[in-house]
Structure 1
């Protein structure tokens, strides 16, 4: 049985922490919306809001953050990381169902390996379920239905001094071409929306110039359908 591949080029998922900085030069909601819409236009396939956050910062609820982005975006997938609690709150499935409805099929959730997922039973689910992704215990890969993504946290100067974010992502994309089990990258931006905005504007065009990425995919398909096409 052959491993799933992505004929139209590698998938790119971008992950942000659900944290609102205490002090902002630009109001944080406006910056988040700008980052999400810019990433969408640049061809990022999905935005993931992670539930893990530094205790020193005000943590927000990922599903609520993504619900605010749903009417302001049109194609980017909206994936909420769920807390590693057993069992999950009863309302989790309803919240995800609502996000999926508000985003016209673009919702998904991210679980840690070994964590229990939301209950799909009951009246909350009358149609297809949101995409369910799982982060490996070591945190090196994120998998889903017919999907495997390599996790990367790009930062200037790491791991090699002087290496740019573009260089790091370029090297990772080159590895995905040689690794038949990889369908793309799960890029973490712990510094928040500004880092994602900068990556979308500065790095993605350079990666396309280097021939490592195809032209931006701008299809308004739901996340489920887009992953099916990609696989």
Structure 2
């Protein structure tokens, strides 16, 4: 993984309304602002269930576009359209979820290469080595432990050399020892200039981060 410059991120006056299963509308965010400080290379997002933590990550990833307000990245406002945000995501963002969405009918290398040219296999192998899985290229996904599967998912997220890594409860399904290993891996990621923003319920994970925010009363505190 190569070093990148840590990006400036700022959400300004975000208002976002969701429709509940019963058809009622609920304002999830109202005049919400988010701007990590330069020293906050990693930020934990906490809050009660249903407060909007995962939705916030989707906004940051450019996957949720139905909101008002401004999203600034590296000092410039983003154009909030599907095409522009898809380009933004492809160039700048890596995404890790709690349950790795790996393709069980493919091997590890093929999972890292999903959506990429086969000629990029050397880059995929480099990412696997970086996450501690050198030599796992031909291993079947079904043979992986939970921690190994999460490492494959992280390798895939880091494939494009993102400046922003968004993680949604990435250690929530792991034991304490494996959680420590994943946090050590994130520490290396941060040291290479990639800002990590992580939704978590774990105080231990939140304590690892440089900063924390709590989603409360439709804003970040």
Same fold (TM > 0.5): no
- The TM-score normalised by the length of structure 2 is 0.33
- The TM-score normalised by the length of structure 1 is 0.32
* Higher RCO (CA < 8 A, seq sep 6+): 2
Q: Flag the structure with higher strand content.
A: 2
